[in-house]
Structure formats: structure tokens, C-alpha cells
Chains A and B, each alone.
Chain A
Amino acid sequence: MRPKLTLLSDEIIARILAEAYELLLRPGIKIQNEEARDLLRREGVAINPETHVAQIPASLVQRALESVPREFFLYDLHGNPAVQYGGDAVHFDPGSSGITMLNPETLEHETTETEHLIRLLKVAEQIPQYDAQSTAVICHDVPKEIQDSYRLYLALLYSKKPIVTGAFTNQTVREMIEMLALFAGSPEAAREKPRAIFDVCPAPPLIWSNFGAGNLIQLARSGIPAEIVSVPLAGAASPVTMLGTVTQHTAECLAGITIHQLAQPGSPIVWGGAAAIFDMKKGATPMGAIETAMLDCSYAQVAKTLGMPTHTYLGATDSKLVDAQAGLESGITAMVGALSGINMISGSGMLDFLACHSAEKLVIDAEGIAMAKRMIGGVKQHTDTLATGFYDDKINFKGGDFLKQKITMQLFREEQHLPSDVIDRNSTRQWKASGSLDAFGRAKLRVKELLASYRRPELDSDQMARLHSYMLDLAKKAGVEELPRLDDGK
């Protein structure tokens, strides 16, 4: 039996949906993108010409919900399906768009550049707990106009895994879609086996911004998957109650799906978010708070009622260091996400309200993810009898009896997750002999090992040339003649 966490009754979910439909009419949704307004107007939606607030009727939303795919996949470099969106599949990827990275020696939060992103890509690439990469940090050493595309470019160069990415302008999302098509060989190939998915954010409360809605439309038309990242902040940018916040989140998602499906029915889109509570003491948005995880579990339940694929932001911490707070917030929230059956859980590796990334945290978080995945693996029945079959004539009532059974050797790997050396189960003596390190110290060693063992994927030389010349063109248009030097990645 697979364990599942549910926080809402069917009755409450029905009320959330009913009130979300009401919100779509009153106060309505503010649509700041002209093309999106045109799409809605064509369907007879009333839009206030001054405030751009649209009253979206339930019938139109329901039509969108009928055309939206319930399941789709992201593919790796070799065209294998590697991430399943839909059902209760659970995947994890590192958090996205950090602006700083923890220096493990000085403990400074350094402004991120090319080398930081590459380091994160190399580490996440070799950790099996991460089914996808993300465009994890912004590279401040390239011009702002190309920062989105450049992150995707590096991920394509340094990884074989699917990529969770995003764009902060309509211009860059277009360039990135072009880049994916060039890399895949054609727009059709990029659509048929999508390598990447794009996070697209509405603005709370109840706003689809110009760039958000514009990105939805472009992604829908290209057939590249979109992932709605609705970010209500309970008590500030959404109602203080969890149910109120989940209802607003529902309305924002429904409006987004409607615009997206009007642009291209049948295009893939995910019900996701980075909901959080608003901290009333510090005015912060704690990603490690238990209520944040509860909001995510709740909205995922709403999504599942509609049969939608799901995403969330969990497994992160607000701590500034890879310390005990980081461990407990990241571990507990990753567990909640997995038990909620959320298809893509982003956020691992991140500190400081999703601002700061850490390669060391990525390797520690991988252990929490492994625990969460083991948990949802559940308690299984492997043998015909539960116990009696284990007690044969060789049992001599000694503690080591079961170590001598063939079945122990056959099944222990299925029953027990075998952690990496980041988790300490040494005797005190062994622990002292290996340097008396804490988890952060052990993680630093593991990162060094992973950086040393990394090999860059072998790309087709034409593919590589196309990708590089496209990126260089973008850079030249942005006024720089050269891209930062990349290490050879061996």
C-alpha cells in the first residue's frame, strides 16, 4: 500500500472549486497581456477596458479543462522518457533561478556566475535522486538580455537530464523555444519529445501579467510544456486562511489554463506553484514553513481532483547555511511533497528563501529525497508467509540467524535504502578516524568527488555548433562579442 497524505475532504475541495469559479467572475482576473485579452474577448469574455479585469465564465474554463492533457513526459538527451507528469509520479529537481551561491569554505553567499551554474549542473547530473536539472542560478557575468537563454544553453551542454527552466520576458521565452527546436533538430521534434518545461508565474492576487500570460501563449503554440507557478502568500498577497489561499491559487491556475488552452488546445500544462505563508514578524516568505508545505499538499489535492499534472516548490530552507534548520526544513517538506504525490518537486539545494543555492545542500537533500521516496515505496509483502517461512530448522535462536538467510541477501536492498557516506552511521571510532566531520563537512567531500568524476555528455558536433552559434548571436545582439569561457568538463 502506498502511503498518501491528504489534508482536504472531498466536500471542501468541491467548495474550493466552486468559490474559485466565483472569483473568476468577481472580482475577476486582471489580464495585463493584450493577446491574452484578445483570445478571451473572442470567446465573449467581458473585460473592463480600463482595469483589464476579465470575468471568465465557468463554461470556458471547463472547456479548457477538457482539452488539457492529463499526462505527458519530459525526455532526456537520448529521447528516453525520464519525467512523468500526471498521476502520482514523484520527481525532484534542484530549485531554479537563485542569485547567490554558498561558498563552502568562506560561507559567503557569492553572486552567481557561469562557474556556479556549471558546478550545480555537474553535481545534480550525477545524483540519481534528481530526475531533472533546473536552470538553477542566474549567471550575472552575461548581459541581462541573454541570462535566461544562457542558463538553458549551459544546461543543454552539461546535462543529459530533462530541464526545468523559465524565462523572465516574452522575448527570451521565444529565443529559448527556438534554441530547443535547433537543439532537437526541428520545432516538431522539440514538441514531440520535449526536453524542457517552463515555469510561468501569475502575480498574486489574481493577476496574469504581460510577460506571464505572453509566455503561456507562446509556450502553448510551440507545444513546449508550461508549468504554472502560482505564488500566493497567505496573509499578504492572498487570504490569511489556508483554504482561502488555496482557493485563490485554484482561480489563478484555472485562468492560466484557460488562456493557455485558448492559444492552443491540447498543449501540455502543469498545475503548480510556490505558495507560501507570509511571515508576520519578518515580512518574509518562508519556504521551509510547515504551512507552506500544507498549502502545497492542499492545492495538489485540488489539481488531482481535476486530473491535472502537478508541481510544487518544496525541499528548500530559509536558513543561510547548510545547518540543522536546513536539514529539518528541507527533509520534512520533501517528505510532505512526496506523500502528496506531486509530479515535480523543485527547491532542493536552496537556502535563504530560494535566493541562494548550494551544491553541498544538494547532496544532503538527495538523502532526504531518498528517504521520502523510500517512504512512498511503502511497506511491501515480499514473501508468501509474513514471518513463519523465515524460521526453518536452521534457526538456533541466535541474533545473527537472519543474516545467514539467502532471502536476506536477496531482499535487503529492496527493504532498506542504502544511504551515501553523507549520512553517518559509523561507530564513534570510525567517525573520528574519518575526520570527525558533520553532515556539511561530509557533503563538501562528496561534492568534490562528484566534481572530479563528472564527464560532459557527448553531443553531436552539428548539434553543438548550432547551439553555440545561436547563443553567440544572441550575445552579439546584446552587445558582447564573446561568451564566458567554459571549462572542458573533461
Chain B
Amino acid sequence: MSDELEKLYKDMAQSIIDGDSDVSVELAKKSIELNIPPLDAITKGFVVGVNYIGDQFGAGEAFLPELVMAGEAMKAAVAVLEPELLKLGSARETMGRVVLATVEGDIHEIGKTLVGTMLSASGFEVTDMGVDQPAEKIIGKALEIDAQLIGLSALLTTTMVRQRELIEEMDKENLRPRIKVMVGGAPITRDWATKINADGTSEDAVGAVQLAKRLVGKA
């Protein structure tokens, strides 16, 4: 790899670490001008930055704003590169399609939004339906976009039971294990996830990405 190219990849990673969408977009455009394969720009450049900030966050060295800004900068760069990938007929192999939602009767979404940001930064195609979503709508959306994974959030002990209802509904229609379900939210424990027969849960957004990768067989 030429020094120049190496420097470009480094700058790309740094733009993600800095959470600077302006710079990451500019570097993405530059890589197109230089005829660098878009997939290389993503995997050898930007993703390195996402992984770094994720590790820093896990170690308590980085904080939520940095994590989210890194995710945003990643999304912005990928948005520039995606049309190029399509042109080349080598559409980026995504990690998978995910539907995210907060259960019916619950309007909390910061945690879910964080998970969404981190999942898209890590190469998932994320459809975030927002809050207060009934089970049938969530399942409908998952089928519509042929999702491999549903991420279900609940912040209240009174609404977490909806997670069980959605899983029961899916089992009734034999949608699993084709579509996996991961659950999250402040009151959600591993015991709860096991009890309701979910496919997994995670404490935080970084862990959720690891879990999602595992569930779609790409860990």
C-alpha cells in the first residue's frame, strides 16, 4: 500500500474518531476521485475508526456523544460511497437488515436510537420504526423488508411484557428462527430474555452490535 493511500485510510478512521461528518464525507468523495474501491474505503478506512471508538467506549475512555457522532460520521461517509458500490454492481454486502422499535405503550427511545446508530455504523441496514409500535406492525415491517433481526426496546417494567407478546406472536406464525429477536432496555435482564425465549440481550449499544453480528452469523 502506498504511503499516500495509507494516510488516506488513516484520515478516514480519524474522521470517524473525531465524529466529523464534514471530513468523512469529503474523504469519501476523494476516494471516489482516486478510484479507490468503495468497499476498501469502508473496511480499511472508516470502519477502523468505528471499531476504535467502540473499544474506547467499552473501556470507559470515550463517552456517548463521541460514540454517536462517530456513528453519524460513518453513516454520512457510507451514504456517499453506496451509489458507487451500486454502480460497480458490487453492492456492499451488508451485515444484515434490522428492524428496531420501542414496544407499544412505551415512548422511550434514546437507548434504541443509540443501538440503531451503532448498528448502521457497523454495516447493518437499520429500519428504526420509532416508539409505541404494536407487535403486528413490527412483524409486518420485518417481513416487508425481509429482515433477519428485530431489536425490541422497552424501558418500563409495565411495558416489557410486550416483548414476550411479540415473540409469542412470531412463534405462532413460525417466523423464527428465520427472524431473530433481540431485546433491550433498562429493566431487561439476561434472565428475562431467557424466560421469554428471546435470542439475546445486551447491556449497551456496543454489546448490541456484537450480539447482532452473532445472531446473523457474522461475528
Contacts and interface: CB of A to CB of B under 8 A. Distances in A.
A430 B186 CA distance: 11
A400 B68 contact: yes
A412 B60 CA distance: 15
B54 to A, nearest CB: 16
A406 B69 CA distance: 7
Given A408-B65, A427-B186, A403 B203 contact: no
A412 B65 CA distance: 8
A42 interface: no
B203 A427 contact: yes
B203 A430 contact: yes
A403 B110 contact: yes
Interface in B123-176: 130
B44 interface: no
A429 B203 contact: yes
B189 interface: yes
A398 interface: yes
B109 A399 contact: yes
A356 to B, nearest CB: 32
B189 A399 contact: no
A406 B68 contact: no
A125 B41 CA distance: 46
B48 interface: no
A473 B65 CA distance: 58
A398 B113 contact: yes
Nearest to A410: B65
A418 interface: yes
Contacts of B19: 406, 409
A2 interface: no
A440 to B, nearest CB: 21
B39 interface: no
A429 B189 contact: yes
B110 A418 contact: no
A412 B19 CA distance: 14
Contacts of A399: 108-110, 113
Contacts of A418: 63
Contacts of B69: 404, 406, 408-409
Given A409-B19, A429-B189, A430-B203, A403 B109 contact: no
B63 A403 contact: no
Contacts of A404: 68-69, 72, 117
Nearest to B69: A409
Nearest to B68: A403
Given A406-B19, A409-B65, A400 B114 contact: yes
B82 interface: no
B104 interface: no
B64 interface: yes
B205 to A, nearest CB: 11
B84 interface: no
Contacts of B72: 404
Interface in A386-439: 398-400, 403-404, 406, 408-409, 412, 418, 421, 427, 429-430
Nearest to A396: B130
B142 to A, nearest CB: 21
B56 to A, nearest CB: 13
Nearest to B18: A409
Contacts of A421: 60
Interface string B97-121: 0000000000011100110010000
22 contacts: A399-B110, A399-B113, A400-B109, A400-B110, A400-B113, A400-B114, A400-B117, A403-B64, A403-B65, A403-B110, A403-B114, A404-B68, A404-B69, A404-B72, A404-B117, A406-B19, A408-B69, A409-B65, A409-B66, A418-B63, A427-B186, A430-B203
Q: Which 6 residue pairs spanning A and B have beta carbons closest together?
A: A400-B113, A409-B65, A399-B110, A403-B68, A408-B65, A400-B110
Interface of A: 398-400, 403-404, 406, 408-409, 412, 418, 421, 427, 429-430
Interface of B: 19-20, 60, 63-66, 68-69, 72, 108-110, 113-114, 117, 130, 186, 189, 203
Given A400-B117, A403-B65, 16 more contacts: A398-B109, A399-B108, A399-B113, A400-B109, A400-B114, A403-B64, A403-B68, A403-B110, A404-B117, A406-B19, A406-B69, A408-B69, A418-B63, A427-B203, A429-B189, A429-B203
